[in-house]
């Protein structure tokens, strides 16, 4: 099992490190031909406009769209979620190219600017039911997007309580769209078929359950899942309240 991580910009090293802690090989993907040699793909967080320009420069978009259409598992975190969305709003002038496939509308900077980044405990019943551990997950949101509309075939895995006052820094048009939401919660994690999307950064925590969850999406394609999917490096049980040793700086 070899998992590719799009390595144009952003937190791809952190994803590769998390995969390593699960005993799975992660490789950097920078060119279209490299997609032929992997079983699944992670599109990491970063600066989505920069990532899109680099992907366009390397002619990656056609290959990425074909990879999605093949049914292989693809997980987008933060900027990667924007990539996978069929529609994105709140973009810079001129917009950006998208891979698409995920039947949802993503607001690019829903939670505001870099200085408005935050952490919050998210209720994750599906993740907890499949992977064990705590019923919550510490979501790290860095200049984060959010899903403001999801199609009928999209399974919601996590939602974040939100004050609609956070939209005050956005344009009037985008504010109008956000304030039309029926509840003061916004979707931040979804799954649709072979696609997984999270608005936050699981790779910046010691909790590898989202990576384990993603790998089991691949296992459902008749490939064996690693036996260490529910643990972190050193065999530390996440429910025991211990902090495992890690190789890279992470948010605790």
pLDDT tens, position by position, 103-143: 999 998 888 777 888 899 999 999 999 999 999 999 999 98
**Are the C-beta atoms of residues 72 and 194 closer than 8 Å to each other?**
yes
Which residue is catalytic, options 78, 104, 131, 149? 78
Rounded CA-CA distance 150/161 in Å is: 17
Rounded CA-CA distance 70/195 in Å is: 11
Report which DSSP code applies to 29.
E
Instruction: State yes or no: pLDDT of 193 exceeds 60.
Output: yes
Strand ranges for 7-161 from DSSP E = 25-29, 40-43, 74-77, 85-89, 102-107, 118-123, 136-141, 146-150, 155-161
- Considering only residues 218 and 223, tell me which one the structure prediction assigns the higher pLDDT: 218
Dihedral sign, Cα of residue 116, residue 178, residue 127, residue 202: negative
CATH topology of domain 2-164+181-218: Rossmann fold (3.40.50)
**Are the C-beta atoms of residues 52 and 175 closer than 8 Å to each other?**
no
- Does residue 203 carry a catalytic annotation? yes
**b/e burial code for range 167-205 (CB count within 10 A of at least 16 → b):** beebeeebeebbeebeeeebbbbbbbbbbbbbbbbbbbb
Is 246 annotated to bind a ligand? Reply is: no
- Does residue 155 carry a catalytic annotation? no
pTM attached to this predicted model? 0.79
**Are the C-beta atoms of residues 144 and 200 closer than 8 Å to each other?**
yes
Is 108 annotated to bind a ligand? Reply is: yes
Is 46 annotated to bind a ligand? Reply is: yes
- Does residue 104 carry a catalytic annotation? no
Least confident of 9-18, 100-109, 169-178, 180-189: 169-178
Which residue is catalytic, options 15, 107, 201, 211? 201
């Amino acid at each position: 099992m070899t998992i590719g991580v799009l390595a144009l910009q952003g937190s791809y090293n952190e994803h590769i490190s998390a995969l390593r802690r699960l005993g799975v090989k992660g490789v950097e993907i920078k060119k279209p031909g490299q997609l032929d040699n992997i079983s699944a793909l992670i599109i990491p967080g970063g600066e989505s406009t920069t990532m899109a320009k680099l992907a366009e420069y390397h002619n990656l978009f056609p290959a990425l769209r074909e990879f999605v259409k093949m049914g292989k598992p693809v997980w987008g975190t933060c900027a990667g979620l924007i990539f996978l969305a069929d529609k994105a709003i709140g973009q810079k002038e001129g917009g950006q190219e998208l891979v698409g496939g995920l039947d949802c509308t993503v607001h690019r900077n829903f939670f505001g600017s870099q200085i408005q980044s935050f952490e919050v405990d998210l209720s994750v019943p599906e993740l907890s039911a499949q992977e064990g551990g705590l019923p919550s997950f510490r979501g790290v949101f860095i200049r984060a997007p959010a899903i403001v509309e999801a199609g009928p075939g999209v399974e919601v895995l996590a939602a974040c309580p939100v004050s609609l006052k956070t939209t005050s820094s956005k344009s009037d048009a985008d504010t109008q769209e956000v304030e039309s939401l029926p509840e003061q919660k916004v979707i931040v994690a979804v799954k649709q078929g072979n696609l997984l999307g999270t608005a936050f950064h699981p790779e910046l925590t010691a909790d590898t359950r989202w990576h384990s969850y993603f790998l089991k999406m691949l296992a459902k394609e008749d490939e064996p899942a690693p036996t260490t999917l529910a643990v972190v490096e050193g065999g530390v049980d996440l429910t025991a309240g211990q902090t495992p040793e890690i190789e890279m700086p992470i948010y605790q």
